[in-house]
């Protein structure tokens, strides 16, 4: 099983995919960035400026490939928070705690931020 993300409104560059293992690292980066929250887990590093807000997306949307819709506003927030966490070295600090985190994990997070940014113009995306 994996995760396929597709723009809500079709476009030629409107898909992105991660396998379960890759998505696990991206989910933890989203949690640490305050972009997504839930499932009874909190942030490990609690970096200032990345606290969850009323715009934080429910983590449930990223725990299954059940056709969840991530709105354009949610995608924009996710992208902004991931970019901030990357630029403030929060993502690299977080990944250093995982024994099995490959060097590519930071790139997966960046690529997911890119996809979220692109999806804003297409009414967000579906998680399939």
What is the rounded distance in angstroms from the CA atom of residue 115 to the CA atom of residue 73?
Answer: 14
| Distance, C-alpha 51 to centroid of its chain | 15
Local structure of residue 120 (DSSP, 8 states): G
Close Cβ partners of 43 (under 8 Å, ≥ 6 residues apart): 31, 32, 34, 50, 51, 52
**Domain locations in the chain?**
2-6+23-127
pLDDT digits (tens, 9 = 90+) for 17-58: 999 999 999 999 999 999 999 988 899 999 999 999 999 999
Average pLDDT over residues 86-101: 96
pTM of the shown model:
0.94
Q: Which residues pair with 38 in a beta bridge?
A: 41
H or E, element range at 15: strand 15-19
């Amino acid at each position: 099983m994996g995760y396929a993300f597709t723009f809500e409104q079709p476009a030629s560059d409107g898909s992105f995919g991660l396998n379960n293992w890759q998505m696990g690292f991206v989910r933890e980066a989203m949690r640490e960035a305050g972009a997504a929250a839930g499932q009874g887990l909190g942030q490990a590093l609690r970096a200032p400026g990345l606290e969850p807000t009323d715009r934080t997306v429910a983590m449930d949307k990223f725990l299954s490939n059940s056709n969840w819709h991530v709105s354009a506003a949610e995608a924009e927030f996710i992208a902004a928070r991931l970019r901030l966490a990357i630029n403030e070295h929060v993502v690299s600090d977080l990944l250093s705690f995982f024994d099995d985190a490959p060097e590519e994990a930071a790139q997966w997070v960046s690529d997911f931020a890119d996809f979220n940014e692109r999806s804003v113009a297409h009414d967000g995306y579906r998680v399939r």
